[in-house]
Amino acid sequence: MSRSKLSVVTLPLLAVATLFTPTLGAAELTPESRVTEVAVTFDLPGRLDIPSDGQAHKHLIATREMAAKVEHRAVPRVAPGVYLVAKVTLPGEVPLLAGKVQHFVGGDLVGSSMMAERAGGEEFSLSFGPDDRLKAERKQIFRKVDRRGKDDEVGYRFITTLENHLGRDGVIEVKDRIPVSGDERVVVTLDDDQTTPGATTDPKEPGILTWRIPVPKSGTKEITLTYSVRSPRSVALAGLD
């Protein structure tokens, strides 16, 4: 599958007679637009023939090109595989209207999603599906229960294996998580000595650890995550792994 060109087609849901289709790609049309606090108006050149059949109809408003930073991301705890993601910044002041988005890699349709309205100058990410040239597999290799008085302490260790078949060196952003306790009787401890260093955290994503791992051409890398959960034996816990 060619990965040389990424494109997005947006299909915003407007009134039946005014359903238009902004697209991203090479510039073809340049309609005039007016942006106010409550509306965006597109003045299209010429006239459109819209059948009076009570059905929705689409028409191209404009095409745009946006420089993209292409990344590879994986959340192997949730789903196997590595996903191709493009980070873009919408140029100008005219927004992209909310609606259905179709994602293409080259000429291949790789998926669709719903997109919120994006303002001019806003940075956002678009997913282009799994890249089968990269692999990410997570396995639990250790679980041990220690009895400590009236408490149980359960230790966990996971290894995520990354493989690179891109034909060049690559970088994969990997997210994993440790449990977050909302009960002071339950204590979660990350074992820094037995966890791959370099992970970053974000206060907006409690418990989430993010690594950016360089993986050499035709090579593999491993990420180790180790933590423990201590709680009274009488407290039932779930979702610890």
d(CA 220, CA 106): 28
At 8 the pLDDT is 52
**CA 138 from chain center: how many Å?**
18
pTM of the model: 0.76
pLDDT, average across residues 50-61: 85
At 63 the pLDDT is 77
Residue 189 is which amino acid? T
User: What is the architecture of the domain spanning 134-232?
Assistant: Sandwich (2.60)
User: Which single residue is written with the structure tokens 């990269």?
Assistant: 134
pLDDT, average across residues 114-137: 90
DSSP 85-117: EEEEE--SSPPBPSEEEEEEETTEEEEEEEE--
At 34 the pLDDT is 66
Q: How far is CA 121 from CA 42, 93, 94, in A?
A: 19, 7, 9
Helix (H) or strand (E) holding 33: strand 32-35
Q: Residue 39: pLDDT above 60?
A: yes
The dihedral built from the CA positions of residue 128, 129, 134 and 136, taken in this order, carries a sign that is positive
d(CA 113, CA 84): 15
Q: CB atoms < 10 A from the CB of 156, how many? A: 19
User: Which single residue is written with the structure tokens 């100058």?
Assistant: 121
Tens digits of per-residue pLDDT, 57-81? Answer: 887 777 778 888 899 999 999 998 9
At 37 the pLDDT is 66
Tens digits of per-residue pLDDT, 167-188? Answer: 999 999 999 999 999 999 999 9
At 85 the pLDDT is 92
Mark 6-45 as b/e (b = at least 16 C-beta within 10 Å): bbbbbbbeeeeeebbbbbbeeeeeeeebeeeeeeeebeee
Higher pLDDT pick, 218 / 3: 218
At 7 the pLDDT is 53
Tens digits of per-residue pLDDT, 215-229? Answer: 999 999 999 999 999
Higher pLDDT pick, 241 / 14: 241
The dihedral built from the CA positions of residue 23, 24, 30 and 34, taken in this order, carries a sign that is positive
Assign 209 a pLDDT band (cuts: 50, 70, 90): very high
Q: Work out the angle at residue 147's Cα, subtended by the Cα atoms of residues 141 and 148, and round it to the nearest 5 degrees.
A: 125
Q: Residue 96: pLDDT above 70?
A: yes
At 31 the pLDDT is 55
**207 torsion bin: left (phi>0), alpha (psi -120 to 50), beta (else):** left
Q: Report domain extents, the chain.
A: 6-130, 134-232
Sequence-ordered list of residues with C-beta below 8 angstroms from that of 159, at least 6 positions apart, any chain:
138, 139, 141, 222, 223, 224, 225
